[in-house]
Structure 1
Amino acid sequence: MMLRSFVGKVEKGVSHIVQRRPAVRYYSEGTSVGDDVREGYFAVLAMKGGESKRFIVGLHYLNDPAFLGLLRQAEQEFGFRQMGALAVPCQPQELQNILDASRP
C-alpha cells in the first residue's frame, strides 16, 4: 500500500517534469531537467560515493521492481522534497545495469 502511494507521488512529480515546468535546483547544477527530456520520460541522477551521472528514463521503468527499489531508497535518503531530476542513491553503473536488464 505504501509503495503504491510512493509510486503515485513519483508519477505526479514526473508529470510536472514532462510538462516542462522550470526545475528547482535541489542538489546541484546537474539536477536540472533540461530540454532533452521528452514526453513520457524523466531525468534521474544516480549519485553515490562522489560519482554521479544523469539518465533519461522512460516512464515504463516505474513498473520495474529493481527501479522501484531504488525509488524506495531515494525516499528514505532524500524524502519527497526532490524537484527537477530525481536523485537515486546508487552508483551510475548500478542504475545502468537495472535499465539494461529491463529494456523492452
Structure 2
Amino acid sequence: MAKLRISGKKKNSIVKLKIIIEKLQKSLLLAKKPANIDNIEDASDSTNVPEDVKEGHFAVIAVNDDEPKRFVIPLSYLAHPSILRLLEEAAEEYGFDHEGVLTLPCRPSKFEQILSGD
C-alpha cells in the first residue's frame, strides 16, 4: 500500500491547523454550557452564545486599522485556505488565550471578499 508523503512545512501547517481547530472546538463547547439561572453574573458570562450564532456557525471580528466588523460564518469555512491563513495569523498575533469572539487580523472589506469567493 502506498504511503502519503507530507513535507515538513506542510506537516507543520497541518499541526498548527489541528491546534487551531481544537481550540475553536473547545471554546465552542464551553459556550454551550448552560448558564446558572441562580446567578445573574453567570448568565452574562462571555461563554454564552449570542442568539444570532446558529448551530454550526461561529463569530469572528475582522479588524485591521478600520472599524471592527463582526461576522457569523458557517463552520465549513474552516476548510477555506484564506481563512485558515487568517487563523494562523490570529494565533501568532493574539495567541490562543484570547477570550471572546475570535479576532482576525484582516480588513472587514477584504474578509467580505473572501467570504463571497472573489
Asked if Structure 1 and Structure 2 have the same fold, meaning a TM-score greater than 0.5 normalized by the shorter chain, the answer is: yes
Q: Which residue of 1 aligns with 2:28?
A: 14
Match of 1:41 among 53, 57, 64: 57
Structure 1: which 4+ aligned runs deviate by more than 3 Å? none
Note the alpha carbon deviations across 1:24-67, whole angstroms, 9 max, x for none.
Answer: 6xxxxxxx952211111111000110421000011001111110
TM-score normalised to the size of structure 1? 0.77
Which runs of no fewer than 5 residues in structure 2 stay unpaired?
1-14, 35-44
In 2, distance between residues paired with 1:98 and 1:33? 24
TM-score normalised to the size of structure 2? 0.69
Pair 1:82 & 2:105 matched: no
Equivalent position SS for 1:84: coil
Q: Which amino acid aligns with 1:66?
A: S
In 2, distance between residues paired with 1:68 and 1:52? 19
Equivalent residues of 1:33, 1:85 under 8 A apart: no
| RMSD of aligned residue pairs (Cα, Å) | 2.2
Equivalent residues of 1:33, 1:84 under 8 A apart: no
Kindly state the Cα deviation for residue 80 of structure 1 after the two structures are TM-superposed: 0.7
**Closer, same or farther in 2 for the Cα pair 1:100/1:8, shift >3 Å?**
same
In 1, distance between residues paired with 2:102 and 2:49? 9
Structure number with greater CO (CA < 8 Å, separation at least 6) is 1
Say how many residue pairs are matched: 94
Equivalent residues of 2:66, 2:107 under 8 A apart: no
